[in-house]
Amino acid sequence: MRNYNIKPFTLKSCIDGEKLSKVLLSELEELMWVKVKKEGGLLIVEYVKREGDNPQNKHGKIFARSSGVVQKLLLKSGNALVKEGDTVIAGQLLVDNKVVTKDGNEYYEDAIADIIAATFYTVSKDFSLPTSQKVYTFQKKVPFIAIGQHEVIPKIVVTNNENCDKIKIREYKIFIVPFRVGVYEIRKYELRKYILDLEKVKEELIKSCDKDFKRKTTDKKILAISKVRTYFKVIKMRNEIKRIECIRYYECLEDIALKK
């Protein structure tokens, strides 16, 4: 400050802070904003250096990773465009890297903030009741020999016109000769009227919804699941249950800050 006739022990009354601010801003090209103020026995100079071309490209902004209601916003740097309690949508700009001072000057800085929001997800699954179900009455393990695409199975009780499941449980390739050997499990069954176990179906639908929710939020930052609500809808035709639908609503606490 000696270049501007300001030395230690200079009287405060001799210093025009507003005028000095304008002089510094006009003469020092590397500065884009200057403010000179007096506090007690101190002369304080606040300033922001001028950035190069496209300074906004050097600093990141923060967008919403998911839609939700902002519960907590801790701003560390940048310009917050939302506040706690605001509803935001995925992709919305939350913290800009452009900052405007009270004096109307602009500068850019990296946007840094912790943003926690209440987010909401819905997953649904349904189960259509089959007209019949398999009831196994017979099973037997049977060896087989395969030559190319042709398999040879010894004659057993099972015939082609009976209801059977053929499950390959073991197979070996023999390199010395061009064929394979293995074991099938033959299961004979009868088709009977389907008997609904409602509680078991509900339990399976809930598990299926939870698996889908995990897949759906793989790329999210879920901090906690605060509430889950489950609804079942039973569809009937002629007083018979035909379909059961499960709808699960998940309310979560999620870190939605996405830096770009």
Range with top average pLDDT, 47-56, 181-190, 207-216: 207-216
Confidence of residue 156 (pLDDT cuts 50, 70, 90): low
Q: Is 257 exposed, middle or buried (0-12, 13-18, 19+ CB in 10 A)?
A: buried
pLDDT at residue 246 greater than cutoff 90: yes
Structure confidence by residue, pLDDT tens digits, 175-195: 666 677 788 787 888 888 888
Q: Which of 80-84, 118-122, 140-144, 203-207 has the lowest mean pLDDT?
A: 140-144
Q: Give dist(CA 47, CA 33) in Å, integer.
A: 5
Q: Which of 29-38, 60-69, 199-208 has the lowest mean pLDDT?
A: 29-38
Query: Of 250, 259, 255, which is closest to residue 222 (Cα–Cα)?
Result: 255
Residue that wins the pLDDT comparison between 217 and 183: 217
Structure confidence by residue, pLDDT tens digits, 102-154: 877 788 888 999 999 999 999 999 998 887 878 888 787 877 777 766 766 65
Mean pLDDT of 229-255: 92
* Phi/psi of residue 100, nearest 5 degrees: -115, 125
pTM above 0.85, yes or no: no
Amino acid letter, 161 = N
Q: Which of 58-62, 150-154, 221-225, 233-237 has the lowest mean pLDDT?
A: 150-154
Structure confidence by residue, pLDDT tens digits, 55-76: 555 578 999 999 999 999 999 9
Structure tokens at 142: 């049977």
pLDDT at residue 13 greater than cutoff 80: no
Query: What pLDDT, on the 0 to 100 scale, is given for residue 44?
Result: 78
Averaged confidence pLDDT in the chain? 82
Query: What pLDDT, on the 0 to 100 scale, is given for residue 172?
Result: 66
Q: Please report where in the chains the tokens 């939350």 appear, as a residue.
A: 94
- Tell me how crowded residue 95 is: count the other CB atoms within 10 A of its CB: 24
Structure tokens at 205: 């639908």
Residue that wins the pLDDT comparison between 19 and 201: 201
Question: Taking the alpha carbons of 22, 24, 27, 29 in that order, is the dihedral positive or negative?
Answer: negative
Query: What pLDDT, on the 0 to 100 scale, is given for residue 54?
Result: 52
Q: Give dist(CA 127, CA 125) in Å, integer.
A: 7
Range with top average pLDDT, 26-40, 123-137, 215-229: 215-229
Alpha-carbon separation of residue 220 from 104, 119, 128, 194, 214 (angstroms): 38, 11, 32, 40, 10
Structure tokens at 68: 């939700």
All residues at 6 or more sequence positions from 12 whose CB lies less than 8 Å from its CB, including other chains: 38, 41, 43
Structure tokens at 165: 């499941």
pLDDT over 70, % of the chain: 83
Query: What pLDDT, on the 0 to 100 scale, is given for residue 254?
Result: 96
Question: Taking the alpha carbons of 54, 58, 59, 60 in that order, is the dihedral positive or negative?
Answer: positive
**What value does the CA radius of gyration of the chain take, rounded to a whole number of Å?**
37
